[in-house]
Amino acid sequence: MGRNKLRWKDISVTTQIPELTVCPDHTQVFMFSAVTWNRHHIHYSKDAAISEGLPDIVVQRALIGNFLARLITNWIGDQAELCRLAWKVTRSALVGRDIVCRGRIREKKDSEEEKCLVCEVTASNEKDELIASGEATVVFTENHATD
C-alpha cells in the first residue's frame, strides 16, 4: 500500500495489479448489512437463504464492490483517484469463503484533459468460479504526480 509509489510514466497495460484475497465472515456480512441499512434476510439468516435455494448466507453485492474498490485503492494509494467502478454479480458469494479479487489494465488513456486507466476487475470464489466482473476507472489529476 503505497510502498512502491505508482508513477504514471511507469504504467503500461502489462503493469500487474496485486491481487487481493478476502474472507468475509458472518460478523463482517452482518455489520455491512447494518451499516448500509440492508435488511434483506439472505444476508443474515441461513434458513432464509436456504428457503430461497441458496446454500448459505450470501455476501452483499455492495460488499463485493467494496472489495473490488479496495483492490484498486490498495494499488493506487494516494497517487490517483478511483472515479468509476461498475460491477455485475454473476454468482452468489457465500459467507466464510475466500474471495479473490484481480485486476488488469485494459487501456491507458493520455489526453490533454485527462490521464486515466481503464481496468478490468473480477472477483472469484475459492473454486476459481467467477462471482463478479466489472470495470474500474482510475484518474491521475494535476494534484498527482503525472510526470
Partner 1 sequence: MFAFEDVPADQLPGDGSPAEMDIPVPAQRTVGGASSYEIFQRVRVGDQITVKSTLKDVFSKEGKSGKLYFVVVETEFSNQRSEPVAKETATYIKRV
Contact residues toward partner 1 (CB under 8 A) are 37-42, 48, 52-53, 61-62, 65, 81-92, 134
Smallest gap from Cβ 83 to partner 1, in A, equals 5
**For residues 43 and 108, what is the distance between their CA atoms, to the nearest angstrom?**
38
Asked whether 123 and 54 are in contact (CB, 8 A), the reply is: no
- Measured CA angle at 29 (ends 23, 31), to 5 deg: 125
Q: Which of 57, 59, 85 is nearest to 70 (CA)?
A: 85
C-beta closer to partner 1: residue 16 or 41: 41
Compute the least distance from the CB of residue 41 to partner 1, in Å: 5
Q: Output 92 or 122, the one with its CB closest to partner 1.
A: 92
How far is 10 from 88, CA to CA, in rounded Å?
Answer: 30
To partner 1, the closest distance from the beta carbon of 58 in angstroms equals 9
Cβ 67 to partner 1, closest distance in Å? 13
When the beta carbons of 49 and 105 are compared against partner 1, the nearer one is 49
